[in-house]
Amino acid sequence: MKIGTYEIQVPFVTTSSDKLKTLKKLSELAPSPTAVDLGSGDGRVALELAKWGFDTTGYEIKKDLVERSKIRALEMGIEDKVFFFEKDFWNENLSSFSLIYIYGMNSIMGRLEKKLETEMKSDAILITNIFKLPHWKVKKTENNFYLYYKQ
């Protein structure tokens, strides 16, 4: 499906709220507090990361979801900790982030793995929800999250 020039490969489904406690625990393994959510949806994960102390970026291709996320950040008074951009994350460089989060789909995980091989910081962590990378070894699994170090 196409929105403007964007090819949508991953639909909007949220990370369930009962999993956020696990995510918080895993996020503590990040070497420093800078995070990105690739496809930030309605912002719920990025907003949580910001509440937990991360300087957070959310890339999202759907304009209405970006707007909703920005409003929520203002309502929560954390607009200086979390920034939402209407952008295709495939075009963004990920080398400044210590925690990379994605709730994607099987069909994109191979492409993501290749992108991370060149862009992910050597000490950063990747957390995926439900879907695994095809070749990288999982370091930790909890509640259907997979945590990886760079390989």
Ligand X SMILES: C[S@@+](CC[C@H](N)C(=O)[O-])C[C@H]1O[C@@H](n2cnc3c(N)ncnc32)[C@H](O)[C@@H]1O
Token pair for 52: 């937990």
* CB of 97 or CB of 103, closer to ligand X: 103
Rg (Cα) of the chain, in Å, rounded?
Answer: 14
* Residue 14 is a binding residue for ligand X (CB under 6 A): yes
Shortest Cβ 42–ligand X spacing (Å): 7
* CB of 98 or CB of 128, closer to ligand X: 128
Shortest Cβ 23–ligand X spacing (Å): 9
Cα separation of 129 and 146, whole Å? 6
∠ Cα 128 33 43 (to 5°): 55
Give which of 111, 135, 113 is closest to 126, Cα–Cα: 113
Helix H or strand E segment including 63: helix 63-76
Token pair for 104: 């994607």
Helix H or strand E segment including 109: helix 106-119
Instruction: Specify the stretch interacting with ligand X by CB under 6 A; choose among 11-19, 47-55, 74-82, 140-148.
Output: 11-19
Q: Spell out, one character per residue from 77 to 106, where the chain touches ligand X: x when CB under 6 A holds, - when not.
A: -----------xxx------------x---
Shortest Cβ 89–ligand X spacing (Å): 4
* Residue 61 is a binding residue for ligand X (CB under 6 A): yes
* CB of 110 or CB of 137, closer to ligand X: 110
Distance of CA 39 to the CA centre of its chain: 6
Contact residues toward ligand X (CB under 6 A) are: 8-10, 12-15, 37, 39-41, 44-45, 59-62, 65, 88-90, 103
